[in-house]
Structure 1
């Protein structure tokens, strides 16, 4: 049917799709930082406080498998006096990652951890339990968007479009993008997860003829 080169009869269009969803899962990082001139004392105090933090979280009903070590570091600390480096002691930092499947419990988990000795709270992320399902919906919207664009261009230029594409390229993997983040930490920490955007993008090639 097509006597000319395929490159002369290919229309390339892009399509995008977006699905918005309420987050159902929160992941936060909580940490304990201790300092002492004695490394052993700094480690022991850090372990004592972190165990206290973990036990307090478990008492809220979170399973232990929802708590994982995210980072552990030991670093010497120095002061500077008239340009001279003076050893101050050691700093031990232990960070844990906590996955909270009841997102309404996020503020309570933060407050409880802080009350029990956590002095670092960071990197709050929101997601859904089955993001791949939402991504497939976004991908379907992206493909439909590309097809509608191709039909519109073909109609405008008086061309006939083959409805079945000859090539489809997935351009972007989907992921949750928070539209709102946790507010400043305080007593009775307010957490506003907002919505997530699950996005997909494709490049589609159609054959056309006049």
Structure 2
């Protein structure tokens, strides 16, 4: 009986040693070299798409001054209401008109000797317009100023949906990366295959703006304030790795 117990213990020890040997098997030299000796060419690719804007944003404002704060406010309200009604009649929908700023503060005029000459209250009221008809930007400015707006600034042109253009820019960026890798790898008689890594470096898809300046003057030939929307450049950048 004792000899049977000893035999069973010996068998268990052999099994444990066998399992331990399997779990602690060393990594082969071939596997190690595959991990540590991979050679990679990393390049940066850039792509650009130039498009015409189809959307504009404009800040219009009314500024009023009066020695009486209440009168300055009342005058501002009357003028701004007139401006809003005028631009609505010109085709701007109510949901595309948003108040972005309103403030009232006391101000002073000074003499050359830095003495206070006049004291008055100034009220500023600003609205932001979303204009979907790019060709009407100059007309809207003329309508607003005729109705009483005396501040026009920060005109921005953009595209309503730039995602499709950005996707095309990404394709161009990948092509540019491949061209760079081809040129580099040709110096040691290699060609790029499928990338081993691709990283989008530009994080695009967000709205891109182009700001324009405003000249508040009538062009008799054109019949409205001249505003040039120009073009918008949408860019994409990628980092690509090719092994060899």
TM-score (norm 2): 0.76
Aligned residue pair count:
207
In the alignment, structure 2 segments of 5+ residues that lack a partner are 1-29, 219-223
TM-score (norm 1): 0.88
Is 1:53 paired with 2:83? Answer: yes
- Any conservation in 2 of the 1:23–1:195 contact (CA below 8 Å)? yes
Which protein is richer in strand relative to its size? 1
Judged with a 3 Å threshold, the aligned counterparts in structure 2 of structure 1 residues 154 and 33 are, in CA distance, closer, same or farther, namely same
Of 94-103 and 153-162, the range deviating more from structure 2 = 153-162
Of 183-192 and 1-10, the range deviating more from structure 2 = 1-10
- Any conservation in 1 of the 2:69–2:121 contact (CA below 8 Å)? yes
SS at match of 2:104: strand
Judged with a 3 Å threshold, the aligned counterparts in structure 2 of structure 1 residues 7 and 196 are, in CA distance, closer, same or farther, namely farther
* TM-superposed deviation, 1:182: 5.0
Q: Which residue of 2 aligns with 1:173?
A: 204
* TM-superposed deviation, 1:70: 1.6
- Any conservation in 2 of the 1:177–1:198 contact (CA below 8 Å)? no
C-alpha distance in 2 between matches for 1:6 and 1:24: 52
Q: Which residue of 2 aligns with 1:142?
A: 173
The equivalences for 1:1-210 within 5 A come to: 3=33, 9-81=39-111, 82-85=113-116, 88-171=119-202, 173=204, 176=208, 178=210, 181-182=212-213, 184-187=215-218, 188-208=224-244
* TM-superposed deviation, 1:165: 3.1
SS at match of 2:141: helix
Of 194-203 and 160-169, the range deviating more from structure 2 = 160-169
Query: Which of the pair has the greater relative contact order for Cα pairs under 8 Å at 6+ separation?
Result: 1
Judged with a 3 Å threshold, the aligned counterparts in structure 2 of structure 1 residues 77 and 29 are, in CA distance, closer, same or farther, namely same
* TM-superposed deviation, 1:27: 0.9
SS at match of 1:65: helix
Instruction: Indicate the structure (1 or 2) with the bigger Cα radius of gyration.
Output: 2
The one-character-per-residue Cα deviations of 1:161-188 (angstroms, maximum 9, x if unpaired) are: 342232413235365354x835522122
- Any conservation in 2 of the 1:15–1:201 contact (CA below 8 Å)? yes
C-alpha distance in 2 between matches for 1:143 and 1:38: 64
- Any conservation in 2 of the 1:76–1:89 contact (CA below 8 Å)? yes
* TM-superposed deviation, 1:156: 2.1
